[in-house]
Amino acid sequence: DSGVTQTPKHLITATGQRVTLRCSPRSGDLSVYWYQQSLDQGLQFLIQYYNGEERAKGNILERFSAQQFPDLHSELNLSSLELGDSALYFCASSAHGGRDSYNEQFFGPGTRLTVL
């Protein structure tokens, strides 16, 4: 158990809908990262937040957005869902922001999103 929790574990929805994935980082960790794992694209970094502010951005679609709240939990919002958005979405957390040095990222179990 990494200490990172993600809810829900599974989510099934229809095309065009909007969903919210939630992540609670390890106690004391300030950074949260979101990754997408799909058969087509593999594991891809989406976005990082550090202490409430966006720190780094990866291959995140404009239909997707994220935020980190004052209690440090994070939400990933996916809208106008398409079949291709079906994937496993991982959240990870680390102690700090990692701008100048690496901080180990601890991964949650993921949320499996199925878009029908």
Interacting residues with other proteins (CB under 8 A): 2, 4, 31, 33, 35, 42-45, 48, 55-56, 58, 90, 92, 94, 97-105, 107-110
Which residue, 33 or 115, has its beta carbon nearer to other proteins?
A: 33
- Least distance between other proteins and beta carbon 96 (Å): 9
Report d(CA 36, CA 25) in Å as an integer.
17
112 phi and psi, to 5 degrees? -90, 115
- Least distance between other proteins and beta carbon 18 (Å): 25
Which residue in this structure is represented by tokens 């993600």? 6
Cβ neighbours of 109 (radius 10 Å): 14
Which residue, 73 or 79, has its beta carbon nearer to other proteins?
A: 73
- Least distance between other proteins and beta carbon 16 (Å): 29
Residue 35 CA: distances (Å) to CA of 19, 112: 16, 12
Which residue, 28 or 102, has its beta carbon nearer to other proteins?
A: 102
CA–CA–CA angle 84, 1, 61 (5° rounding): 25
- Least distance between other proteins and beta carbon 79 (Å): 24
